[in-house]
Amino acid sequence: MSKAIRMTRTGGPEVMEYVDVEVGAPAPGEATVRHEAIGVNFIDVYFRTGLYPQPLPAGLGMEGAGVVEAVGEGVTEVKVGDRVAYAGRPNGSYAQVRNMPSAQLLVLPDKIDFETGAAMMLQGLTVQYLLHRTVALKAGDTVLFHAAAGGVGLIACQWAKVMGVNLIGTVGSDEKAALAIENGAAHVINYNKENFTERVREITGGQGVSVVYDSIGKDTFFGSLDCLAPLGTMVSFGNASGPVPPFSLSELQSRGSLFVTRPTLMSYAAKREDLEAMAQSLFGVVSSGAVKVPVMQRYNLADVGQAHIDLESRKTTGSSILLP
Ligand code: NDP
């Protein structure tokens, strides 16, 4: 048996029920993981509200770190006793113990503790592909990154700095602005006080940036397009304010042959070899201390409702974890 979060309907934080579930032996290709820490991510909110549909009843949570307790038939990636971490589907990491497809598990280097492991997989692997693969950034590039003091954001600030990329971050408060700068952002804009499009034009001497990373969605999409230099790339990778409405391709033409992509971690990490390469890159920068994963909020698993309330009301900074 394990304590776990289950939902039978979509809605507010109250739909997440803390219940006892039967875990059972791992099926072929699965491993049983006892969590030491569990990551909380904005995507969990999308599944909880139904913005991203899934069959119900369902578990929630895509990220965790812990120890392998049992393995099913045919499992080659991990063995009993391994310290592991993962980010992936099916949802269900909000639990003390769970079975997980072993192809998604990665052995955690000894240097990386469980809390960091649970906090960094989804957000860190996302930053890895965004900065290295969606666009292969190089030293001297200037980019705009929204929600720079959030979980993904603070990792992006640090990693961009390591790469010599000038990251202009946006944030919702002056405290968050200070945090983004401390973590390596070259410039920061409080978009609740200033027009971010005008400020980006000022900072770049009218040129605009080559890439915008926009996880806010509805509220920022068109302003973000206005920040791009001709031939620039709009990376729309989230919808914290709601989904981007349909738009005409002429919006891209009129602003100078822009590119738009809507990436997901799941497609970039779908092949085991890609997942392993991305993880090695992430483990490298975290193990060396070049990127520190800021775990800023900790909650008991039973208090996950509060974790979602804080995340959705923009009270959090950096990463949040649950302790089972
Ligand atoms: P964050 O910690 O960044 O929290 C979201 C932040 O978005 C808030 O703190 C807030 O920062 C900002 N925000 C702006 N408008 C709103 C709004 N209306 N409601 C709530 N928040 C708002 O979350 P994560 O680090 O977990 O994720 C960041 C984003 O990246 C999410 O949109 C997520 O879905 C996306 N993502 C996408 C992935 C992909 O592969 N496509 C993978 C991982 C994450 P502020 O107050 O500074 O504005």
pLDDT at 99: 98
Instruction: Kindly state the average pLDDT of the residues 285-313.
Output: 98
Position 174 scores a pLDDT of 97
Residue nearest to atom 35 of ligand 1 (CA): 238
Residue pLDDT, tens place only, 209-229: 999 999 999 999 999 999 999
What number is the average pLDDT over the span 52-67? 97
pLDDT digit string (tens) for 16-41? 999 999 999 999 999 999 999 999 99
Residues β-bridged to residue 213: 145, 235
Measure 18 CA to ligand 1 centroid, in angstroms. 25
If you measure from the C-alpha of residue 149 to the centroid of ligand 1, how many angstroms do you get, rounded to a whole number?
A: 9
φ/ψ of 226, rounded to 5, equals -70, -15
Burial of 278 (0-12, 13-18, 19+ CB in 10 A): buried
State the closest ligand 1 atom to the C-alpha of 238, by its place in the atom list counted from 1.
32
Q: Which atom number of ligand 1 is nearest to the Cα of residue 171?
A: 47
Q: What percent of the chain has pLDDT over 90?
A: 100
Q: What is the pLDDT of residue 94?
A: 98
Summarize pLDDT for 76-87 with one digit per residue, the tens.
999 999 999 999
Please, what are the domains in the chain?
2-121+275-323 (3.90.180.10), 139-262 (3.40.50.720)
Q: Choose one of 152, 194, 308, 309 to mutate for the ligand 1 pocket test, by most ligand atoms within 8 angstroms of C-beta.
A: 152
Angstrom distances, CA of residue 166 to CA of 24, 191, 193, 260: 49, 18, 22, 21
Q: Where residue 233 falls among pLDDT bands split at 50, 70, 90?
A: very high
Q: Whose CA is nearest to atom 1 of ligand 1?
A: 150
User: What does the pLDDT read at residue 70?
Assistant: 98
Mean pLDDT of 282-291: 98
Pocket of ligand 1 (CB under 6 A): 41-43, 122-123, 126, 147, 149-153, 171-172, 176, 215-216, 219, 237-238, 240-241, 263-265, 311-312, 314, 316
The best mutation among 314, 315, 316, 320 to test binding of ligand 1, ranked by most ligand atoms within 8 Å of the C-beta, falls on 314
Query: Are 85 and 121 contacting, i.e. CB atoms less than 8 angstroms apart?
Result: yes
- Give the per-residue pLDDT at 68: 98
Instruction: Tell me the CA–centroid distance for residue 41 and ligand 1, in Å.
Output: 8
Atom of ligand 1 nearest to the CA of 262: 41
Q: Tell me the average pLDDT across 252-278.
A: 98
- Residue range 54-59: mean pLDDT, rounded: 97
Instruction: Return the pLDDT at 165.
Output: 98
Distance 165 CA to ligand 1 centre (A): 21
CA–CA separation, 78 and 132 (whole Å): 27
pLDDT digits (tens, 9 = 90+) for 113-155: 999 999 999 999 999 999 999 999 999 999 999 999 999 999 9
What is the pTM assigned to this prediction?
Answer: 0.98
**Which pLDDT value is given to residue 126?**
98
